[in-house]
Chains A and B, each alone.
Chain A
Amino acid sequence: MNAYIYDDFLNKSRYRRALNKVEIRLTDLGLNGKIIRLGAIKNVKEVIQTEIKNGIKNIIAVGNNETANKVISAMITNKTYGFFQKDILFSIIPIGDNNSIAASFGIKKEDDACNILLARRIKKIDIALAGNNIFLNKAELVSDNAQIKIGEDYVLELTKKTKVKIVNLNDDADLVYKERIDPCDNLLNLVINNRGIDNTFITSSDIRVSGEGQLILDESVSVPLPTDVGIISEKINIIVGKDRSFN
């Protein structure tokens, strides 16, 4: 059984046509299911956990990165995750802008998403955590004074204003060392790129970021510094397309 979680921004009339198209296509493919509209819900976690307990097998976020982040956080924050929730499949139907998570899954448009859901190509990937917030793709920071502690061993200090990315699942075709990023290896990748020539690349599962500023998770959630960044022990099952950014 499927649950489609619609973000509240989809109430705007400009998304009506795209949503209608998706709903018709899902019905044609026999993939229709329960629709849950986030705009009408105060406690997203409780609603999604109840659906999981009631036997939902596929949870599909309909919207953008922020929607995906809200839905995954609601699926996983429950302490019993790893027991029955881990068999749930997650995917995205991208609508609107800011859809890099869907792109990294190989889902570029809403039309593709319906066919990809039908094909049920399943991959298991790591889930990253910054403070108490989950992210799938990356955590970003622009700073000239951040300190990044790797494990208990050493600390990196920035000496120039630089963009720092902590990547789990890559969504950037131009990212340096992108071919080395594996979202299934239980590791995060710290990529610091300064004007395309001065690059830093470190892998670790235990990172602490301190200094001024905030980490932006999946281009949608901000987390104040200092914060710990790592990988949670369970992985998530996702439905992906052929054009995904990983093997």
Chain B
Amino acid sequence: MFNKDNKLEKFKDAETIIGASIKVKGNFNGQGDIVIEGMLEGSLKTEANVFIGEKAKVNANIEASEAMISGEISGNIKIKKYLAIGKTAKIGGDVQCGEISIERGASITGQILVATDEVKKNDNKKIRPEEEA
């Protein structure tokens, strides 16, 4: 999915594509792949994959199955499976994922938790209080 040679080809079929000249405000929920090349403020959640382009500026929490991040993100990132962080990425927030790769040059200010089981446990903890209530 994230091979350098075929990454753009893979994302041609993305359900939603936000271009560089667009600013999005609000809660972005989807079922399919999402590509962000512009600005996003709010939250971003999908059951599929997310691609954040080099020039993208995202001020939002992100939840997805897999993600490739090359842009600037201010918010927490929660990825169920694989997270690839490119050399141009600047992340200000905590990162949770199942697997990770970080290219030299990327900047992350926050905690990184890489463990599929841990992510699941944390999910369960969050659910319990609501169930009791």
- Residue numbers of A with Cβ under 8 A of B are 153-160, 162, 177, 192, 194, 198-203
Contacts and interface: CB of A to CB of B under 8 A. Distances in A.
B26 A158 contact: no
B71 to A, nearest CB: 15
B19 A198 contact: yes
Interface in B11-41: 14-29, 37-39
B19 A153 contact: no
A153 B26 contact: yes
Interface string B31-55: 0000001110010000000000000
B8 to A, nearest CB: 12
Given A153-B27, A153-B28, A158 B22 contact: yes
B27 A199 contact: no
Contacts, number: 58
A202 to B, nearest CB: 5
A200 B28 contact: no
A172 to B, nearest CB: 17
Contacts of A153: 26-29
Contacts of A155: 24-26
B19 to A, nearest CB: 4
A203 to B, nearest CB: 7
Contacts of B19: 192, 194, 198-200
Interface of A is mostly: strand
24 contacts: A154-B26, A154-B28, A154-B42, A155-B24, A156-B18, A157-B23, A158-B23, A159-B21, A159-B22, A159-B23, A159-B38, A159-B39, A162-B21, A192-B22, A194-B19, A194-B20, A198-B37, A200-B18, A200-B22, A201-B17, A202-B17, A202-B18, A203-B15, A203-B16
A195 to B, nearest CB: 9
A198 B21 contact: yes
Given A153-B28, A155-B24, A203-B15, 15 more contacts: A153-B29, A156-B23, A157-B22, A158-B23, A159-B23, A159-B39, A160-B21, A192-B19, A194-B20, A194-B21, A198-B19, A200-B18, A200-B19, A200-B38, A202-B17
Interface in B91-130: none
Interface of B: 14-29, 37-39, 42
Nearest to A177: B17
Nearest to B16: A202
A187 to B, nearest CB: 11
A119 B14 CA distance: 37
Given A198-B37, A202-B16, A203-B15, A156 B22 contact: yes
**Residue with the highest number of chain B CB atoms closer than 10 Å, among A162, A177, A198, A200:** A200
A156 B39 CA distance: 10
A154 B22 contact: no
A199 B22 CA distance: 9
Nearest to A204: B16
A163 to B, nearest CB: 11
